[in-house]
Structures are given as C-alpha cells and as structure tokens.
Amino acid sequence: MKIKDLILKQAVMNKVLYSLTPLLIFAIYLYGWRAAAVVAVSNLAAFATEYLFIRNKKGGKVSMAVFVTGTLLAMTLPPTIPLWMAALGSVVAVAFGKMVFGGFGANPFNPAILGRTFIYVSFPQQMTVSWIKPFMMNSFPGGFVRWSAGSALQTSATIMGQFRLKLVPTSTFLDTFLGFEAGSLGETSALLIILAGIYLLITKSAKWIPMLATLGSIIVFNLIFYPGENPLYMLCAGGALFGIVFMVTDPISQPKTVSALWIFGILTGFLTVFIRRFSLFAEGFMFALLIANSVMPIIEHGLKSLPKKEAVQNGK
C-alpha cells in the first residue's frame, strides 16, 4: 500500500498548508535548512502517531489535518530546538490533543498549541533562554546556502523578552513587521502572516470573526496594560499574530455560534495580554488559547440556555 492511500484528503487543510509555505521558505532564509528539518521531523512524528492509533481500524486513514498540526507546531518552535524535542511535541500534540478524544473532529483543544505548551513547560531552557539572530535582508542568499545560522549569532532575548525586561527593543518596527528578528520559525514575519490570513479568508478556509475579535481585543488591552507602547509593535512581536491567523481559526476547537466566536476571540486576546503583563511568561498566547478552549463549552451552554430562561420568565 502506498503512503498516499493511508491519508484522508481534506481540501481545507491543504489550503492551510499552502498558506504556511511562504513562512517556511522565509524561515529557511532566516535560519538555514535546519528549519526545514524541524518541520519534517515534526510532521513525521505526527503522522506516525496518528497512524498507530488508526492502523487497525477498518478503512481508517490518517487525516490531512495531522500535517497541519505538525507544521504549525514546528513553526512555533525556536530554530535551535533539538529535533527529538520537536518530535516529542508532535507525539503529545496528536496523541493527547486529538486521538484520546476520538480523533479528527473531536478534539476540544488546538493540538498544535497543546504540543507547543508541553515543550515550553517541559524544556524551558531550549524554548526561552537562547535565540539565534536571523540572516538579515542584506545577507542574501542567507540560510538558503547554510544548514544553520550558527552559535556565533546567538542573542539573549526576543522582542517580547526585551519588553518584559523593560529594555529598549533592538529591532525597529519595520524589522519586526518584515520578520528580521530573533524568534520562532514561523512567527516573526507579520507581513507574511497577514498575507496568509488574507488567503485563508478569500478561500473560505478560516472564519473572520475569531480573527477580528482576537486582534481587536489584543490591541485594546495592550493600550490598557502597556500605556505609551505602540500596540501594533506588541501585536507583531511574539506569537500572537501567528495564533490569530492559524490557531483561533481552527474549525474543530473553536465555538460554533457567532456570539460564542466573538466571546472566544475577545477572551483569548484579553488573556494573552494579561498573561504577558503579569505572569512569568513572556509569551501568553498559548496559555490564553488553551484556557479559552477549556471554558468555551461552558459559555456556549450558557448562551444556548438564555432563550429558555427568557421564555420561562415571560410565562411561555
């Protein structure tokens, strides 16, 4: 049997992968071909994990969504992450974020974020302490002819880390917007992420409400919690914008009604900024999304019961 015969084709998931392709190419330019190795190992581990769960099921196939999970997880990791950690993160993402709930279509959490959070909590040294400076715009062909940027280009903190330490950011807003700064593989270029979001909306592969609600919420609460700081700078730095486009739009783990989608986005945005501001963690989006995923079933249940309560009060 061929590998392609084991995969369940899903057109929407293909479009998500298409939208991630420019980010992967840019990551290779910034950090070298090791970036592609991280993505490949993450996807292989994700595929193997789901296959182990479905291999004995009649007609069972690995969902195309597993490659979205593997790619999204890899793109949220530092370029220096050990390959075995990327593989372990994918195993946790698929096994505990998806398959234990019944497989594709049944997961209450975004699997990629769950895997990323596992790595973040389990291996903080590799996730937060040391970062690689990327090849800059004037260093073409940059990482296209290198395996890695190399330890000689190490830096100590990302933009979000510098904000937490109350340091003057070492990158200009333009560098942050374009993506020429230290960070995770796919999270640095706001420009490419925005273009990916536009593509997903045009192709109807993602809903605009959770994107807009989360985006607006982050901007508003940045103004509240970080007065005097450019909210767009705070939005483009870190993984929030990547999460807005690729994570809150996950069709399985997001709420199903319009009102719940607005609440979901606003809550995720608020928690992202709140955690960034008051916790020990420089990046709050992953925790914010997991919390929002956890409480939204309760909120949705409450919203559905409102018409019934109104009817009882009106004597109907």
pLDDT at 292: 94
Best mean pLDDT range from 118-127, 161-170, 233-242: 118-127
Q: What size, in residues, is the chain?
A: 316
Domains in the chain, CATH or no CATH each: 3-306 (1.10.3430)
Looking at residues 25-53, what average pLDDT do you find?
Answer: 95
- Does 1 score more than 60 pLDDT? no
pLDDT at 73: 97
Q: What's the pLDDT band for 204 if we cut at 50, 70, 90?
A: very high
Residue 80: count of CB within 10 angstroms of its CB: 18
Q: What's the pLDDT band for 312 if we cut at 50, 70, 90?
A: very low
Single pTM value for the model: 0.89
Tokens of 122: 């389990």
pLDDT at 133: 83
Q: Which residue has the higher pLDDT, 63 or 6?
A: 63
Looking at residues 5-13, what average pLDDT do you find?
Answer: 83
What percentage of the chain carries pLDDT values higher than 70?
88
The pLDDT tens digits of the residues spanning 258-273 come to 999 999 999 999 999 9
Can you tell me which residue has the tokens 């989360």?
214
Q: Of 132-146, 204-218, 240-254, give the lowest mean pLDDT range.
A: 132-146
Long-range CB contacts (< 8 A, 24+ apart) of 95-104?
95/49, 95/53, 97/69, 98/50, 98/66, 98/69, 99/49, 99/50, 99/53, 103/50, 103/53, 103/54, 103/63, 104/8, 104/63, 104/65, 104/252
Tokens of 56: 């004995």
pLDDT at 156: 55
Q: Measure the CA–CA gap between 36 and 75, rounded to whole angstroms.
A: 10
Of 92, 181, 80, which is closest to residue 127 (Cα–Cα)? 80
The pLDDT tens digits of the residues spanning 208-228 come to 999 999 999 999 999 999 888
The pLDDT tens digits of the residues spanning 266-303 come to 999 999 999 988 887 777 899 999 999 999 989 888 88
pLDDT at 185: 93
* Structural contact between residues 90 and 73, judged by C-beta atoms closer than 8 angstroms: yes
Of 190, 238, 237, 192, which is closest to residue 25 (Cα–Cα)? 192
Identify residue 109 by its one-letter amino acid code: F
pLDDT at 207: 94
Q: Measure the CA–CA gap between 37 and 87, rounded to whole angstroms.
A: 11
pLDDT at 278: 86
Q: Measure the CA–CA gap between 30 and 23, rounded to whole angstroms.
A: 10
* Structural contact between residues 198 and 184, judged by C-beta atoms closer than 8 angstroms: no
pLDDT at 181: 84
Best mean pLDDT range from 37-46, 283-292, 305-314: 37-46
- Does 242 score more than 70 pLDDT? yes
Q: How does DSSP assign 7-40, residue by residue?
A: EE--HHHHHHHHHHHHHHHHHHHHH-THHHHHHH
Of 89, 87, 111, which is closest to residue 99 (Cα–Cα)? 111
Of 197, 256, 244, 192, which is closest to residue 218 (Cα–Cα)? 244
pLDDT at 229: 80
pLDDT at 311: 46
Q: Which residue has the higher pLDDT, 283 or 120?
A: 120
Residue 310: count of CB within 10 angstroms of its CB: 10
Which residues in the chain belong to E strands, given as ranges? 7-8, 62-63, 131-132, 154-155
Q: Measure the CA–CA gap between 44 and 157, rounded to whole angstroms.
A: 30
Q: Of 6-10, 78-82, 204-208, 312-316, give the lowest mean pLDDT range.
A: 312-316
